[in-house]
Structure 1
Amino acid sequence: MPIVNLITKEKIASEKKEILKKEFADVMYEVAGKSENWLMVRFTEEEDIFFHGQPLEEGGIVEIKLVGKLQRGQKEEISKRICDVLNKVLGYGKDSIYIVIQEIEGQNWGYNGSTF
């Protein structure tokens, strides 16, 4: 049940969104064992982002929320691979990307009128 939310200053072209969606799904499945069938991807575009006290020209924030717990090594691998994806697809430098991984207990995650 992961949610991956990319927050960025720019508007992302539809074809790049498709690539990012697929790449995010691959990372979440290969590293965390989370199927694309349960993955929700959100693009929050054209946001004002400041970093080092200045407007961020290119880069972004990736929020990942999921049910369950990951090992530290899995979190590091997700961070590395998400940075690689954003660098490859959008040209973002790895030093202009923040990634937040939030683990949530199933009882705090609602879906289809119930919780996990």
Structure 2
Amino acid sequence: MPVIKTHATTPIPETAQHALKAAFGQAIENIPGKSEQWLMCLFDENAPIYFGGDDSEASALIEVGVFARGEVPASAWEALTAAVTPAVAETLGIDPARIYVSCSSTPNFGWNGTTF
């Protein structure tokens, strides 16, 4: 049950959403047991983001959350970040130095009225 939320100061047109969804679908496979089949992507465009106290340049926060009863290896998160960052940078025209990727896992996740 992975979820990737994109918060960006820029517009995220439908074509960009599709491109990012595809890139995220591939990137999530870096996390053991995860695939695009259960991936949910959310897009928050034109978000007010201050990076270092400055909002004059485009910025983005990518939040990645997964359901995992065990710990996700650091190498998996590193591979995911390495895949997601250039996809966001190229698709939305944001300097990679102004993109944060937040990664987390939870042993509790709800779907279809049930919590795992």
Alignment of 1:1-116 (within 5 A): 1-29=1-29, 31-32=30-31, 33-68=33-68, 69-105=71-107, 108-116=108-116
Task: Report SS of the residue matched to 1:54.
Answer: coil
CA distance in 2, matches of 1:64, 1:57: 23
Shift of 1:36: 1.3
Query: Conserved in 1, the CA contact under 8 Å of 2:10 and 2:92?
Result: no
CA offsets per residue over residues 32-77 of structure 1, 9 Å max, x none?
1412121000001111100111115212000001011310111111
CA RMSD of aligned residues (A): 1.2
Q: What TM-score do you get using the length of structure 1 for normalisation? A: 0.91
> Larger % of helix: which?
1
CA distance in 1, matches of 2:81, 2:59: 14
User: Structure 1 stretches (4+) deviating beyond 2 angstroms?
Assistant: none
CA distance in 2, matches of 1:21, 1:56: 27
Aligned residues: 113
Shift of 1:7: 0.3
CA distance in 2, matches of 1:88, 1:11: 14
CA distance in 2, matches of 1:38, 1:19: 17
CA distance in 2, matches of 1:72, 1:24: 18
